[in-house]
Amino acid sequence: MTTSHAIVIGSGIGGLSTAIRLAVKGYAVTVFEKNERAGGKLGWFERSGYHFDTGPSLFTQPGNIETLFQLAGIPMEPYFSYQRVDIACRYFYENGKRIDAHARPEDFARELAAVAGEDPRAVIAYLKESAQVYEHVGKIFLEHSLHKASTWLHTRTLQALRHVGWGHLMNTLDSFNRSRFRSPEAVQLFNRYATYNGSDPFQAPGMLSLIPHLEQNEGTYYPKGGMIAIPQALYALACDLGVSFRFNTPVTSILQEHGRVKGIQADGQPFWADTVVSNMDVFYTWRDLLQDPGKAAAILRRERSSSALIFYWGMAMEFPQLHLHNIFFSTDYAAEFAHIFRQKKTYPDPTIYINITSKMEEGQAPPGKENWFVMVNVPSGALLSDDAAKEQLRAAILEKLSRMLGVSIEPCIETEDVLTPEGIEANTYSYKGSLYGTSSNARWAAFLRHANTCSGIRGLYFTGGSVHPGGGIPLCLKSAQIVDSMIPAAL
């Protein structure tokens, strides 16, 4: 009996979850990865007893992970565990105010009322509306292909569109939020959710108001062992299902014949398969693996998402005023995003995100110390390998944190590593270091993301953050689900 073979290019979250789904379907799956281990942007390193996750740091919708183990018929507990976080994020403002986004909506509403004078009924109403839009609209567009007529013609889609208001489509997220809240603190807090897919709240549509539902209604979680535990668990599950991995093996081309995929070229030799799934950035897939510069150029006509400058600091003391997730807002949010997306420049007063996993788990840092993941948004393609530009931002970060926390930060730094947009691009083949592929700054941008299938090449599919439905761990897992729905069971 002939075995159906499938090849997955790249072992990011989209690639790992696709490999698992295809193995469950009976395929003999081989994953080709240019790096030495699985995970894509979800990397990890240790420095002098400090443990650092290198990429995404927010974990929501753990059910996406649970589904993969359920499909495999294997209990998840020996591989992966997590806990709910009581405060989704702690927000710091230049006016001295601090807001804890409590996990329970009622507590969060009371906090915004007490600190910002916000009407708690407005907060509860906003989160209920966010949940409604996600449940009726978001699920359809995030879990089904937008490039198949059956999605649009299904009665559930027509019914869902009744829940989309004018403000969701025609207003920017900032305008939408200003119509719902009266305090500048609440508006800035909810504007921040545009950054979850690398976009600008002053350009992106109000539809992004569904994103808070994932964090504030469904909950924020911490995976035991840090974020690296996610790809480690999926890699282990894939191996137990018989998936083969070839690390340190970049794919050089996708082989095709008469409009049908035939396999890939790697290590100077062909590897044959009738099903190929690319988890590589779709721009590089078209330019390098399919040698189609025209298709690659067409992808670049859509604006790229933001990138990031990340410092990994081993801190010699503990900061009780900080939590797992922390945001230090810039004074002028509109100016910050104008710099990033319109002027393509870094902003001198950046909003700073700090993730500290040692707040949740012993062993992530030496006793009495903390591991800081410090990130600011920057334009994709920002040339921050230049020491002067990098040092300028570093100095701004140190000054802002020292002033707002009332502690001189630099003397506390015991270890330091840095990741620039150039490093992100080199490590993960993300064009110009864009974290989420294309941005959602145009009204219909979410509907124009690259499809998960290729109309001109049968048997070729695309998964991961650069294609539909978008970037971030939950959406990469959903892209694998969509690809899985398109591929028949193995013969």
Does CATH place domain 5-47+59-74+224-302+448-486 in 3.50.50.60?
yes
On the question of pLDDT at 344 being above 80, the answer is: yes
C-alpha dist (Å) from residue 126 to 37, 120, 193, 329: 42, 10, 14, 21
Tokens of 251: 């794919």
Tallying the residues shown for the chain, one arrives at 491
* Helix (H) / strand (E) containing 266: strand 260-266
Residue 20 phi, psi dihedral angles, 5° rounding? -65, -45
> What whole-number distance in Å separates Cα of residue 249 and Cα of residue 40?
14
Give the pLDDT mean for 141-163: 60
Q: If we measure between CA atoms, which residue out of 204, 392, 369 comes closest to residue 303?
A: 204
> What whole-number distance in Å separates Cα of residue 463 and Cα of residue 481?
9
**Mean pLDDT lowest for which of 176-190, 313-327, 422-436?**
422-436
pLDDT given for residue 470 in this prediction: 87
CA angle at residue 424 from 418 to 427, to 5 degrees? 105
Pairing of strands 28-32, 5-9: parallel
Could you read off the pLDDT of 374-391 as tens digits, one per residue? 999 999 988 776 678 889
pLDDT given for residue 429 in this prediction: 87
> What whole-number distance in Å separates Cα of residue 453 and Cα of residue 276?
10
**Mean pLDDT lowest for which of 149-158, 239-248, 410-419?**
149-158
Q: Report the SS3 class of residue 358.
A: helix
pLDDT given for residue 185 in this prediction: 98
Q: If you average pLDDT over every residue of the chain, what do you get?
A: 92
Could you read off the pLDDT of 10-26 as tens digits, one per residue? 999 999 999 999 999 99
pLDDT given for residue 206 in this prediction: 92
Give the pLDDT mean for 319-341: 98
> What whole-number distance in Å separates Cα of residue 88 and Cα of residue 219?
7
**Mean pLDDT lowest for which of 43-57, 150-164, 224-238, 326-340?**
150-164
> What whole-number distance in Å separates Cα of residue 26 and Cα of residue 94?
56
Give the pLDDT mean for 75-80: 98
Tokens of 10: 């790249």
Considering only the top CATH level, what class is 304-439?
alpha beta
Give the pLDDT mean for 134-153: 67
pLDDT given for residue 159 in this prediction: 61
> What whole-number distance in Å separates Cα of residue 177 and Cα of residue 241?
46
Asked if 5-47+59-74+224-302+448-486 and 304-439 have one fold, the answer is no
Give the pLDDT mean for 27-52: 97
Contact between 173 and 201 (Cβ < 8 Å): yes
Parse the chain into domains and list their residue ranges: 5-47+59-74+224-302+448-486, 103-218, 304-439
Quote the percentage of the chain above a pLDDT of 90: 82
Q: How confident is residue 357, by pLDDT bands cut at 50, 70 and 90? A: very high
Q: How confident is residue 154, by pLDDT bands cut at 50, 70 and 90? A: low
On the question of pLDDT at 145 being above 90, the answer is: no
**Mean pLDDT lowest for which of 57-61, 77-81, 433-437?**
433-437
pLDDT given for residue 164 in this prediction: 61
Tell me how far apart the terminal alpha carbons of the chain are, to the nearest angstrom.
9
On the question of pLDDT at 111 being above 60, the answer is: yes
On the question of pLDDT at 1 being above 50, the answer is: no
On the question of pLDDT at 489 being above 80, the answer is: yes
Could you read off the pLDDT of 412-431 as tens digits, one per residue? 999 999 999 999 999 988 99
DSSP H helices in 42-104: 63-72
Q: Report the SS3 class of residue 313.
A: strand
Give the pLDDT mean for 301-308: 92
Quote the percentage of the chain above a pLDDT of 70: 93
